[in-house]
Amino acid sequence: MENIINIDKLNKSYKVADIFDRIKGDKIKVGVNNVSFNVKKGEVFSVIGLNGAGKTTIMKSILGLIEPDSGKIEVFGRDKLKREDFYNIGYLPEISYYPKDIKLKTLIDFYGDLYNMSRKEKNKKIMESLEILGISSRINDKLEKFSKGMVQRVGIAQAIMNSPKLLLLDEPMSGLDPKGRIQIMELITKLKKEGTTIVLNTHILSDVEKIGDRIAIIHNGYVKDILDVNCDKLRKTGNHIITIANEYKEFQKNGEFYEKMVGNNEFNKILKKLIENNINIVSIKEEEVSLEKYFIDIIENDKTVGDK
Amino acid sequence: MKQLFSVAKFTVLQNISNKMFKGFAMFALFIILVIVSLKDIAIYESNTVIMDTGLALIEFFVLIMTIFISASQFIKDKNEKSIYLILTKPVSRGMYITGTIFGILAIIALNVFSLGMILMFVLLWQKWVFTKWFIYALIFIFIKLGILAFIGVMFSVLSYSIMSANIFTISIYVAAHGATYIRDFATKQTNVAVKWLFDIMYYVLPKYNILNYRDILSHEKLSYEPLTISIYVVSYALIILIITNLVFYKKKI
């Protein structure tokens, strides 16, 4: 499958602005370190990590908003994005403020004008995107009346109004209520079906499991792992939970039955013993690991020098 | 080009809907009306007093507005991250900066000419005889503040804080009024380095002396040919715009 984004050995560091940090000798703060990955056409690629892990730096580098120290980024097969490329890109920044005392119509109209659309096309696209996000009825309201979640929807509306081929969403669920989150997840699924490539920065891992295709785990500016949402690493640990009806050796009581977690290497041996001793086996389940557990394990076992 | 004018239009809409801007315009209007009501203070030529004071106040109020908007617009857009939403659309950095400046110029024009028209109607009501030099005075106030808007935006791109951008812009405005004194001072210097420094300052600062509307009103003639003034103003603004764009293309945002 064709790659929409190729990132190769991306490095970016920032000069420390805080005077106290500088006195301590910290002059450079690492943004990202030797980051490499690619995003395939039509997939939902999620970048997950803690706050300050380097997710936004990657997104800004992709968009050419910041210049990397070294490394190569190709978007749509080009080293440097041209102005025309932005007709096919939608972007939602992590945080953005909009002038509060203007109407939603004025704001969204302005973004439509930046895409050089005809009035008819612009109005159609504006209404479509506002309707998808459930804010079309508020078009004549001033933004000062909008809640945080509503403002986030405005941000998403401006990101999708040009029907982009590549959509970059930085923390799109931020400030949304559960209904809003579901709406955005449905929107992402719909856009994916229509062929949009989506890069999603988030730390809400349950959402990623539902809508993502591949995941990059970022910690302290390093890519710790890139994995498929359905990969075995996430689903199977190799451990089994054996449940039996009666008390037997190290099996722990759990409700009316007895359970034991058995590692892959001893599974056959224990199973054989249970059969030999005529123990009534209720069930054998393979242990599944959630993305959250996998992510936390990676972060807790990370030996990278925390230079961020 | 459509994008450039969209940025300009949005800059105007954004600032016109700004509550502070509205309050400011209302205050300026109020002051003009107060002056009119106090016209009896001037025993002779009360209309000249009203006109001179009114024009001076228009320049002062729009000056403060110009400094406030031009020196803060870019830094505000950058701090509030709204600049990302513009630069990730098919809009070049040059278009964004030029559009922003055009928007600020439109705001200055709107304020100078609307307050100027109010002042003119008040003067006509006081039986004042209309003179084209009044319109020239308004145009020259607009040009002076327009140049300052270019400088303000340049400093807002160069600086990291609104405060420093404001201070630099105000300093240029003040120094530009004394440009001829700077030159005189330079000619009297014996130290070559100091002479050079003041000479450079003289050439870098905008020549506000050729845009002085008081001279136009009192002598009823322009100090230079309109073409000379136009070429100077356009060239100066263009140089500032080019410098601003060069800095902005290298700027981390």
pLDDT per residue over B72-108, tens digit each? 989 988 888 889 999 999 999 999 999 999 999 999 9
Q: How far apart are CA A57 and CA A71, in angstroms?
A: 13
Kindly report the nearest CA distance between residue B144 and chain A, in angstroms. Answer: 28
Q: What share of chain A is helix, strand, coil (3-state, %, to 5)?
A: 35, 30, 35
Element containing residue A38 per DSSP (H, E): strand A28-40
Higher pLDDT, A115 or B223: A115
User: How many other CB atoms are found less than 10 A from the CB of residue A210?
Assistant: 13
User: Hey, what amino acid is at B118?
Assistant: I
Using CA coordinates, name the residue in chain B closest to A102: B17
* Closest residue by Cα to residue A280 from A307, A308, A251: A251
Q: Which of A95, A101, A140, A168 to mutate to test the interface with B (most CBs of B within 10 A)?
A: A101
User: How many other CB atoms are found less than 10 A from the CB of residue A7?
Assistant: 23
* Closest residue by Cα to residue A287 from A234, A209, A221: A234
* Closest residue by Cα to residue B186 from B177, B195, B178: B195
Residues of B within an 8 Å Cβ radius of A? 2-3, 6-7, 9-10, 13-14, 17-19, 80-82, 84-92, 252-253
Residue B142, CB-side half-sphere exposure with 13 Å CA sphere:
21
User: Hey, what amino acid is at A156?
Assistant: I
User: What's the confidence (pLDDT) of residue B42?
Assistant: 62
Q: Chains A and B: how many Cβ contacts under 8 Å?
A: 72
Q: How far apart are CA A48 and CA A31, in angstroms?
A: 15
- Residue by residue, pLDDT tens for chain A (308 residues) are 688 999 999 999 887 665 565 566 666 777 888 899 999 999 999 999 888 888 999 999 999 988 889 999 999 998 888 888 999 999 999 887 888 888 999 999 999 999 988 889 899 999 988 988 888 889 898 888 888 888 889 999 999 999 999 999 998 888 788 888 888 888 999 999 999 999 999 888 888 888 888 999 998 888 888 888 877 666 666 788 899 988 888 888 888 899 998 887 888 888 888 888 888 889 888 777 777 778 888 888 776 655 44
What's the rounded mean pLDDT across residues B153-176? 91
Which two structure tokens, joined as six digits, stand for A112?
A: 């439509």
User: How many other CB atoms are found less than 10 A from the CB of residue A264?
Assistant: 12
User: What's the confidence (pLDDT) of residue A299?
Assistant: 82
User: What's the confidence (pLDDT) of residue A19?
Assistant: 59
User: How many other CB atoms are found less than 10 A from the CB of residue B120?
Assistant: 18
Alpha helix (H) residue ranges in chain A: 19-23, 55-62, 104-114, 119-132, 148-160, 178-193, 205-211, 232-235, 264-276, 291-300
| Contact (CB, 8 A) for A163 and A125 | yes
Report chain A residues whose CB lies below 8 A from the CB of B19. Answer: 101
Task: Determine the 3-state secondary structure of A165 from DSSP.
Answer: coil
Which two structure tokens, joined as six digits, stand for B229?
A: 């003034």
pTM: 0.81
Cα-based distances in Å from A145 to A32, A142, A153, A176: 38, 6, 14, 16
Which two structure tokens, joined as six digits, stand for A276?
A: 């030999």
ipTM value of the model?
0.81
pLDDT tier, B187 (very low <50, low <70, confident <90, very high otherwise): confident
What's the rounded mean pLDDT across residues B124-153? 89
Does the beta-carbon distance from B90 to A116 stay under 8 Å? yes
Higher pLDDT, A130 or B47: A130
pLDDT tier, B213 (very low <50, low <70, confident <90, very high otherwise): confident
* CA end-to-end distance (rounded Å), chain B: 23
User: What's the confidence (pLDDT) of residue A176?
Assistant: 83
Nearest to A114 among B81, B84, B91 (CB): B91
